[in-house]
Amino acid sequence: MQKVFNLFDFSQKVNYKTEILAGLTVAMTMIPESLSFAILAGFPPLVGLYGAFIMGLITAIFGGRPGLISGGAGATVIVLIALMKSHGLEYVFGAIIIAGILQIFVGLFKLGKFIRLVPQPVMYGFVNGLAVVIFMSQLEQFKTVINGETTWLSGSPMLIMLGLVVLTIAIVIGLPKITKAIPASLVAIMVVFGIVLAFGIETKQVKDIASVSGSLPPFHIPSIPLTWETLQIIFPYGLVMAAVGLTEGLLTLNLVDEITASKGNSNRECLAQGTANIANGFFFGMGGCPMIAQTLVNLSAGSRARLSGIIGALTILVIILVGAPVIELLPMAALTGVMIMVAIGTFEWTSFKTFNKMPKSDIIVMLIVTLITIFMHNLALAVLIGVIISALVFAWENAKRIRARKYVDENGIKHYEIFGPLFFGSTTAFAEKFDIQNDPKEIIIDFAESRIADMSAIEAVNNITSKYAKEGKTVHLRHLSNDCIVLLKNAEAIIDVNILEDPSYNVMPGK
């Protein structure tokens, strides 16, 4: 029980005041973002709030680590816009359920660990791109709709908006230098709220985005035909949503691990995220994933336990049920200022310090991931491309490292001592090391400092020994590791490894 509900694990020191205040701050920043993304996708506003509540509560209790905040994230919502426009909300709920099922499979089969394959430059690019996206999204609050057209604010409304945003930022920056007893973000929101109410300042408020009042999330089975054709429509969207959610979620989990110097459970996070998305599909929520901005707000407020996430989710529910009239009066300038500071805090400024020290390939990877994140808002694609480029660069660099030390012993046997991994990228360089025409009758290829890594490597060895066999010469393989021997044995059905035929694979004992 303690492992699941860390909140009630009394061996864990929990600052209840900090956790509650952090949770309230998280709720205040999550509400406008959830509303904005719901409206952007064409969903009813309450669908966004229901998504934030359901995702936040389930993942806070059962998620992979304390401190991680989940909600109706824009990264996953953007995936569903096309489906919403083409088939409507019911199909969207079906796709969200599919995404949840896929995420649970990832958790059950313990595939979350593969997030470790994401290199640091990709992490930098992902985080920097996301910081820019968060910042750019706040610029929309400086616009208004006039006669159906979106235009920038001007005159007094723009000056008021800028002034309140600057005041919010100043409080967020300055208050921690005086006291850290209360989260600076929450104080900033309350101070700006108080000033606007006291002086009757006219400025954009939450109610200008949408109404946030409603009831408990209703149970609802998506009204879609249970046919193969329906599955063909919703499955691709569910698959992409699952991939985006897991990618952003597990990268955020890794980020929190670094910030808190602790270790989360990626597979458990996959299970919690999948369960929450399935619940979203059946309870009118827009689904989502861990939100890096709100997570950083939570951590910067001092939270280190699960309580803040639970408080944040329950606060959103209370606001939906009874608190809407007050929350709808919150000035958007205060929330915008907080989110701008989150964007600044999210950006990995240390990546600039190491810019001149990083390999050029890492810099290119980081920039590509950043640009894809900014301009396409496709975090899964950005990370996937970054990992692929990094893998290709790694393969190329390792391909250049294969070397061979050659000598002839007192018995006239020529030795080739191979250094470096033999895999698909290094097979050409490996083949160039041998002088088949001029070598003596007996050859030893020593793999003490090398390793046969894949099928391409086996085929390369096969080709070399075949060429020697055609010249009537014998090849012995020495110091093969056990896994290399298994690879060769498994390849017998594909290539000839019969000692009596061509080629000859004699594994010699070491000296």
Residue 502, pLDDT > 80, answer no
What is the average pLDDT value for the chain, to the nearest integer? 84
Residue 460, pLDDT > 70, answer yes
Mean pLDDT of 122-148: 83
**Of residues 14 and 159, which shows the higher confidence score?**
159
Contacts by 110-118, CB closer than 8 A, 24 or more apart: 110/267, 111/267, 111/270, 112/64, 112/246, 112/250, 112/266, 112/267, 112/269, 112/270, 113/266, 113/267, 115/247, 115/250, 115/251, 115/253, 115/254, 115/266, 117/387, 118/251, 118/254, 118/383, 118/386, 118/387
HEC string for 51-105 = HHHHHHHHHHHHCCCCCCCEECCHHHHHHHHHHHHHHCHHHHHHHHHHHHHHHHH
Which residues partner with 421 through β-bridges? 451
Q: Give per-residue pLDDT as tens, 206-218.
A: 888 777 778 899 9
Where does the pLDDT of residue 127 fall: very low under 50, low under 70, confident under 90, or very high at 90 and above? confident
Q: Give per-residue pLDDT as tens, 20-64.
A: 999 998 998 888 778 877 877 888 888 999 999 999 999 999 998
CA angle 170, 174, 177 (to 5 degrees): 170
Residue 430 has a pLDDT of 92
What is the length of the chain?
511
Residue 88 has a pLDDT of 93
E strand or H helix at 149? strand 149-152
Mean pLDDT of 272-287: 96
Percent over 70 (pLDDT), the chain: 90
Identify the residue whose tokens are 């063909």: 232
Residue 93, pLDDT > 90, answer yes
Compute the distance between CA of residue 355 and CA of residue 334 in angstroms, rounded to an integer: 34
201 SS3 class: coil
Mean pLDDT of 83-94: 93
Mean pLDDT of 473-483: 79
Mean pLDDT of 353-371: 85
Compute the distance between CA of residue 280 and CA of residue 220 in angstroms, rounded to an integer: 10
Of 76-80, 185-189, 377-381, least confident by mean pLDDT is 377-381
Residue 510, pLDDT > 60, answer no
**Of residues 164 and 461, which shows the higher confidence score?**
164
Residue 323, pLDDT > 90, answer no
Mean pLDDT of 290-317: 90
**Pairing mode, if any, of strands 414-422 and 442-452?**
parallel
Residue 490 has a pLDDT of 65
Alpha carbons within 13 A on the beta-carbon side of 491: 21
Q: Give per-residue pLDDT as tens, 147-156.
A: 778 889 899 9
Q: Give per-residue pLDDT as tens, 266-275.
A: 899 999 999 9
Give, to the nearest 10 degrees, the angle between helix 45-62 and helix 307-318. Answer: 160
Backbone angles phi, psi at 148, to 5 degrees: 80, 0
Where does the pLDDT of residue 501 fall: very low under 50, low under 70, confident under 90, or very high at 90 and above? very low
Where does the pLDDT of residue 500 fall: very low under 50, low under 70, confident under 90, or very high at 90 and above? very low
Of 115-129, 179-193, 449-463, least confident by mean pLDDT is 115-129
Count of H-run helices and E-run strands, the chain:
19, 9
